């Protein structure tokens, strides 16, 4: 029986086809491997992106959409002493931050280009000035790039004297506009994470305290002036940023102390980047 001789052209064609199939399989394997690597990279990148909780304004309150916690906005004379650099969430496009040392379920801070606001759990009671346990008063001025402390009142009797005047002093009908407006930043031994801010307005007719929270204008004696006259306002009184941006003073020279800024700015404005900074020492 004669041996079958294969068709050389057919054999070459089949060899070429087999080689092409192997090449295609190799390409498919490489493509799948590349896609797997890209998928892993995508998951890694997405997991590393910051997650911001959405906080929505509902009927004058502010609701954390993840936890369901409802917050209230504190009056504008309350400010956080310090807040952490890492934002917790967003409210109307603005970042909100944990107040240093406090639970986000109870307290949050908002910073919109130096205008600070405090939000607190609706189940909490915001401390009034008469319950604030004051221990220190920083006399501050708002300058272009920093809050400057121009005087520091730590004598207990002087601190209590000023607070007593705010609570019980004679009210005045002096004009709103002052020649110079300072912010008295009151610290507490009990509520160490908050400042209670009061305007100190100097006019040609005399000085007075203005509490934006209560609306009281009270005649002032010369106590704060005595600290101002003995203070040094050189650059070393300007605190350097470290943890959270120092709250901007509520008023500046030739300004209306009764005017204030909303805790929530226009959401159409350019979104600010999370800032860094710290409290005043």
DSSP characters over 227-269: HHHT---SGGGBPPPSSSPPPPPS--TT--TT----SS--TTS
Cα–Cα distance, 182 to 178 (Å, whole number): 10
* Cα separations in angstroms, 76 against 18, 27, 71, 198, 263: 79, 65, 15, 10, 7
More confident residue, 54 or 256: 54
Among 231, 242, 268, residue whose Cα is nearest residue 94: 268
Q: What is the average per-residue pLDDT within 70-85?
A: 94
Instruction: Say which range, 3-17, 45-59, 219-233, 238-252, has the weakest mean pLDDT.
Output: 238-252
* Model pLDDT for residues 183-195, shown as the tens digit of each residue: 999 999 999 999 9
Report the SS3 class of residue 59.
coil
pLDDT at 266: 38
> Secondary structure of the chain: what % helix, strand, coil (to 5)?
25, 30, 45
pLDDT at 252 over 50: no
| CA 124, chain centre distance (Å) | 20
CA atoms of 4 and 90, how far apart (whole Å): 82
Lowest mean pLDDT among 38-47, 54-63, 152-161: 38-47
pLDDT at residue 47, rounded to an integer: 55
Report CA-CA distances (Å) from 36 to 7, 14, 29: 44, 33, 11
- Of 171, 261, 246, 249, the C-alpha closest to 208 is 171
Strands 134-142 and 70-73: unpaired
Q: Tell me what pLDDT residue 26 has.
A: 79
pTM for the model stands at 0.68
177 compared with 49, residue with greater pLDDT: 177
Q: In the structure encoding, which two tokens stand for residue 177, read together?
A: 């506009």
- Check residues 229 and 267 and name the one with the higher pLDDT: 229
| pLDDT tens-digit series, residues 142-188 | 876 677 899 999 999 999 999 999 999 989 887 666 688 899 999 99
Sign, CA torsion 231/233/243/130 = positive
* The predicted structure's pLDDT at residue 263: 38
Mean pLDDT check: name the lowest of 2-6, 70-74, 159-163: 2-6
Tokens standing for residue 190: 């009990």
């Amino acid at each position: 029986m004669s041996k079958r001789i294969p068709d050389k052209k057919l054999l070459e064609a089949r060899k070429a086809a087999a080689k092409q199939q192997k090449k295609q399989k190799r390409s498919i394997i490489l493509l799948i491997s590349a896609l797997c690597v890209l998928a892993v990279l995508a998951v890694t990148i997405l997991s590393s992106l910051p997650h911001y909780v959405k906080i929505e304004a509902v009927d004058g309150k502010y609701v954390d959409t993840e936890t369901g916690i409802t917050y209230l906005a504190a009056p504008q004379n309350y400010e956080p002493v310090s807040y952490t650099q890492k934002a917790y969430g967003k409210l109307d496009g603005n970042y909100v931050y944990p107040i240093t040392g406090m639970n986000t379920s109870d307290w949050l801070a908002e910073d919109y280009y130096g205008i600070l606001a405090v939000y607190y759990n609706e189940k909490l009671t915001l401390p009034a000035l008469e319950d604030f346990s004051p221990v220190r008063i920083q006399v501050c001025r708002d300058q272009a790039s920093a809050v400057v402390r121009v005087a520091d009142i730590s004598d207990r009797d002087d601190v209590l004297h000023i607070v007593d005047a705010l609570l019980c002093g004679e009210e005045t009908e002096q004009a709103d506009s002052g020649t110079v407006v300072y912010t008295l930043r009151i610290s507490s031994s009990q509520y160490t994470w908050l400042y209670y801010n009061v305007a100190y307005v100097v006019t040609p007719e005399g000085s007075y305290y203005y509490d934006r929270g209560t609306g009281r204008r009270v005649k002032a004696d010369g106590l704060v002036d005595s600290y101002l006259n003995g203070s040094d306002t050189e650059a070393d009184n300007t605190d350097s940023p470290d943890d959270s941006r120092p709250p901007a003073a509520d008023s500046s020279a030739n300004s209306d102390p009764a005017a204030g800024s909303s805790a929530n700015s226009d959401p159409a404005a350019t979104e600010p980047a999370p800032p860094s900074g710290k409290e005043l020492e």
